[in-house]
Structures are given as structure tokens and as C-alpha cells.
Chains A and B, each alone.
Chain A
Amino acid sequence: MTAAPAVETKDLVKVFERGRRTIWQRLRGEADKRDRFRAVDGIDLVVEPGEIFGLLGPNGAGKTTTMKMLATLLIPTSGTIRVLGIDPLARPREVRARLGAMLSGERSLYWKLTARENLEYFAALYHVPPHQTKARIASVLAAAKLADRADDYVERYSTGMRQRLALARALLPDPPLVVLDEPTVGLDPQASRDLRDRVRELKAQGRTVLLTTHYMEEADQLCDRVAIIDHGRIVALDTPAALKRTIRAEEVVHLEIGLEGDEGGAVLDRLGESATVARSERSNGTLTVTAHCASARNFVPAAFDAARSTGTTIRHVEVVPVTLEDVFLALTGRALRE
């Protein structure tokens, strides 16, 4: 018998109203004229047990809303969800008991309490049996490398330490499924690496990890599978390697081309003959181009020829490997950070 998916959603939709409906409008029985905004617009997702699954997308794509619905913090407008085979709408407390959630990072801790006091409180909220509490807290503190600072107030911690403590708290119930919303936001590179290592350890322990991120490197390095999400919809879902193969390019070339007049269209046409122009942007006499090509060795000389023949000047060339950012660009025409 195969195990049930760790997470399964079907046609998941969440609609929010924009603006407020005043008490006066309600009392007068006026029609609700607020705009409706589909933050999540029909997401189908299956996360298998034991994998690290990433939701990758720009800010406002619907990642956090999806996470909050899985974590029982939001009620979906329509669609179905199963978390570890349980319907969170019908049996929310059972889902919460099996779920380790780190949703608002360092803000989710009591800064005027010590790490140990935070964990003691949450151990009680997670219904950790009293005789196991001390050992469980010692275990998660050691895993988070915070044992020696356990009795310091959280306000004296660095951002990275607080994030590690928030993750330690999420692990108090020893959950088979861990959901992490933007776990490395605001962290320095070293702290980010430490946290990613912790996430890999969770997978090694047999847990399923579902995380959101808008850092393509994070999704690439960490996730077994990635769903790229934009405007509330999944636009692609596969392993990072398979996603990168979909754009049919081996390399990505970024060009900065100096323009004298209206030569932009002509040079783009010429570049398009030897590569796929994924993105172009004109600003202050400079045309910035991102091109997907089979070989930069062949494309770069062709680009210089194109510039010469159109009376423009290439000012900067950068050749980089294909990333998930390029996949997102190819699928949506926009960069992840836009």
C-alpha cells in the first residue's frame, strides 16, 4: 500500500475582498461592491512524503496564502485540501497536531521570554506530554545549535538565531510535515546556509518539507520538486533540473546595449535570429537584454555582429548558467523580483 500524499490540494481557490465595507453600508443593506481578488486561483498540488517541495514565485503570487490554508489559518473559498490524508476544514486540530509550521519567522516568538521559556509555552500548546517536554526542548535546542543560549532573552538573538528558534519551535510536536514560509528572508548568507542545512536534516529524518521562497537559488539547491506560482496559479511543476530543461537553452546571456536612437527593435530582431530573447528593457539609452541560447560561444560574436550592423554598441556581456529565474522569465515574461 502506498502512503497518502503529505499534502494534496484540488482546485484550491482563495478570494479576498479589497477595501472595507463600513458598518453604515451594512446597516443600510447596500450591495457589497468591493473588488474581489483571487489570491489563489485553482491550485492542484501533490506533495509526496519525504520530499522537500518548494513553492517558488514573486511576492504576492499566492504562496503564503496557500501555506496558510494548509496550516488551517485560512478557510479556502473553494477546492479541497488533504494534509497527511486529513481534511483540515473538518478536523483542524488533528492537522495542527501533526504539522510543524514556521509562518512568520522571528515575529512568531516572544522576544521578552528566553528561548527555553518560549519552547516551554509552545510545548504545552502542542500538547507535548509533560514527562517528555524537557527532553524534547533540549533536543530541538541542540539541533538548532542554541543550547548554550537557551536562557537568553530572544530579543538578544540575531535574526538568524530567531529563525532557527522558530524552526525549533515548529519541531516540538515531532511533526511528519513541516511547512516553512520564506524561511531565509532577511538572513545573511551564512545564516541562510545554516538554515538550509537544517532543512536538509529534516528530510534526512524522513520528514516532508513544504517551503515557499522567492529565492531561485534556494529552490534550486534545496528542493526535490518545485512548483512555480504566479498570480495564484501554478505555471510549472517539476524537479529543478527538469524545469530548467524546459527553456531549451544551455546558457543565458545578459547584454547591455547602448542605443543612439530607435535602433532597439532592429537589434532585437537580429539577436532573435540566433537566440531566444527572453526579456528586454529600454532605459536611458540602454537596452538590457536577456537571451537564452544553446551556446554563448556562438551567440556572443553574433550579438556583436548584430550591434555593429544596427549602429549600436554592446557595453556589457555576462554569460550565466540557466536558473529557475530564467524558467520563470520564460513562462511569465517577468523577473521573479518584479
Chain B
Amino acid sequence: MSLLAADLRAFFAAALKELRQQRRYPTLFLGQLFWPAILPASWVLMGRAYSGDDPQALVAFAERAGSSNVAVFVFVGYAMYNWLSALLWGAGTALRQEQLRGTLEAVFVTPASRLVPLFGPGVGTLLPMALTFASNLLALRIFFGIFPPVAAVIQAAVIVVLGIPALYAIGALFAASVLRFGEVAPVVQLIRGMFVLACGITFPVAMLPLWAQISAKLMAPTYIVDDLRGVLLRGETVADVAGDIAIVLSLAAVTAILAVAVFGYLERSARRTGMVGRF
């Protein structure tokens, strides 16, 4: 077995280990089902409370958002927020828990690539995220009577899958900081807040000042959330957003390379300071 094949096997074993541990706490999955349905629904209702049934308000929204369907716009934004949170928290939290538990040293004395504990546990967040998306769709149907066309949902799923590497890489980049600083929460809060503000997750990017709109173009979530809305709200196809997908994949590659470099640097730093075994 080649080294790469052995590391790939270790990678999937790390993901399986994470899923097995999640399975021990089945009530966590309930949270993944209910909260994603309730919270965005409350935002939509709040929007309706502000504008009532005023058609002018909907026209103004459509001018900025590209669609007057507030419910789908908000639900897609929330799904993106949830997904981003899970991946930002997932990898860093998994690494931090390994450190706190004392298992990180045991993992680091094996010949597996250091990238296994960095990237492997993130896979464990994918199943709960799939549940969240399903819950979002169900809530749209139950609360607002909306169910996007099946073809659009399938194309949205394709965009989600193609977006995974980018969000995964962002999560891994910040997870690496655990090795140096021991705690990932402050960094994740800051970065998550920045993405929520800058990437059009809860409101259209057009609302931002020009410089912020330009900055948003450097962030993969901006494209992913816009493309999801494109196929679900504006009748676009994956082919129509292929250019955006190429940008997202390129940003994913750049971020992943950066994450590996930062992780390598911080891992060496942790081996100098003894931070691997400290918490």
C-alpha cells in the first residue's frame, strides 16, 4: 500500500471515528433538525412584519436580491450560515477536543500525515449538514408552502458538493490555530461574523459599500450562496454559474494550500513549545 493510499485510509478512518462518536449523542441530531427550520422561519416572519404586504417593499427587495421570494432567499442564506458555522467550528473543535482529551499526542505519534487530524474530522460534519438542508427544505414546504422544482434542488445539491472543498479549507485554516493558541472559539466567532456580514448570507451584497462588495468577491461563500439562490430563485442552471464554480474551486485550492502551510508552521511551533500536549 502506497503512503498516499495509507493516508487516505487514515483520513476516512478519522471521519468514521468522528461519526461514531457523534452517534453516541443522538439528541444532537434533533437540534440539527428543528433549529434550522424554526430560526429562518422567524426571520421571514420578522421581514413580513416590517413590510406587511406592501408590493413596493417586495419590489425594492427584488431589485437588490434578484428575487422577491424572501422566504427562499432567507432559508438559503441561513443554510449557508449553518454550513459555514459547522465547518468553521467542526475542524477546529475536533482538533481542540483531541488536545483537551489527550488523544492528540497519540494521533501525532503515528506515521499518518498530520493532515489527517486536520481535515478528517470535518467529514463528520457533512452528515449533520445534509440533515440541516433537508430540514430547511421541509420547513419551506410546511411553513410557506414553497417547494423549489426538483431539478433546481438537484442543481443546488451539485453546487453544495462543489462548494464543500472551499468551506472545508476555510475551516481547516482556522482549525490550525488550535495548535498555537489552544482555543479556536474567538477566531471562529470573528471570522464567522465577517462572513455573515460580507458574503450576502442574510442580506444582499448590494447593500454593502463598494469596497466591501469587492472584498466579498474574494470569499468563496459569496459565490456559493449567490449561485444557490440563482438556481433556486432565478431559474439559473449549473452551467450558467460554471464561472463562479471555477472561482470557488480556485479559492478552495488557494485556501487549502494556505491551511496546509499554516498548519505545518504551527505544528512545528507546537513541537518547539510543547503545545501539542498542553491545553
Contacts and interface: CB of A to CB of B under 8 A. Distances in A.
Given A73-B105, A107-B103, A97 B111 contact: yes
Interface string B1-32: 10100110110111011001100100000000
Nearest to A97: B111
A121 B274 contact: no
Interface residues on B, range: 20 to 34
19 contacts: A72-B108, A72-B271, A73-B109, A94-B111, A99-B109, A107-B102, A108-B102, A108-B106, A112-B20, A117-B17, A120-B13, A121-B17, A124-B112, A125-B110, A125-B111, A126-B111, A127-B3, A127-B10, A173-B111
A139 to B, nearest CB: 18
Contacts of B14: 121, 124-125
Interface of B: 1, 3, 6-7, 9-10, 12-14, 16-17, 20-21, 24, 101-103, 105-112, 116, 268, 271-274, 276-277
A104 B109 contact: no
Contacts of A109: 103, 106
A123 B13 CA distance: 9
Given A96-B111, A130-B9, 19 more contacts: A16-B274, A72-B271, A73-B277, A96-B110, A101-B106, A103-B277, A108-B102, A108-B105, A110-B101, A110-B103, A113-B20, A113-B21, A117-B17, A121-B14, A121-B16, A122-B110, A127-B6, A127-B9, A130-B1
3 smallest A-B Cβ distances: which pairs? Answer: A107-B102, A124-B13, A108-B106
Contacts of B116: 125
Contacts of A75: 268, 271-272
A117 B106 contact: no
B109 A96 contact: yes
A62 to B, nearest CB: 12
A103 B106 contact: yes
B6 to A, nearest CB: 4
A72 B20 CA distance: 29
Nearest to A39: B274
A103 B10 contact: no
A73 B21 CA distance: 26
A112 B14 CA distance: 14
A93 interface: yes
Nearest to A113: B20
Interface string A78-115: 00000000000000011011010101100111111100
B275 to A, nearest CB: 10
Contacts of A73: 105, 108-109, 271, 276-277
A127 B112 contact: yes
A121 B13 contact: yes
Interface in A1-46: 16-17
A169 interface: yes
Given A122-B110, A125-B10, A110 B21 contact: yes
Nearest to A65: B274
Contact of B277 (A68, A127, A166): A68
A75 B271 CA distance: 6
A36 B91 CA distance: 33
A117 B111 contact: no
A166 B24 CA distance: 21
B109 A107 contact: no
A321 to B, nearest CB: 37
B225 to A, nearest CB: 33
A69 to B, nearest CB: 9
Nearest to B25: A112
A101 B10 CA distance: 18
A73 B102 CA distance: 13
Pick from A109, A121, A122, A166 the residue with the most CB of B within 10 Å. Answer: A121
A204 interface: no
Contacts of A123: 13
A107 B108 contact: no
Contact of A101 (B1, B7, B109): B109
Contacts of B276: 73
A317 interface: no
Pick from A104, A111, A120 the residue with the most CB of B within 10 Å. Answer: A104
A129 interface: yes
A169 B106 contact: yes
A213 B1 CA distance: 38
Contacts of B16: 121
A94 B111 CA distance: 7
B112 A71 contact: no
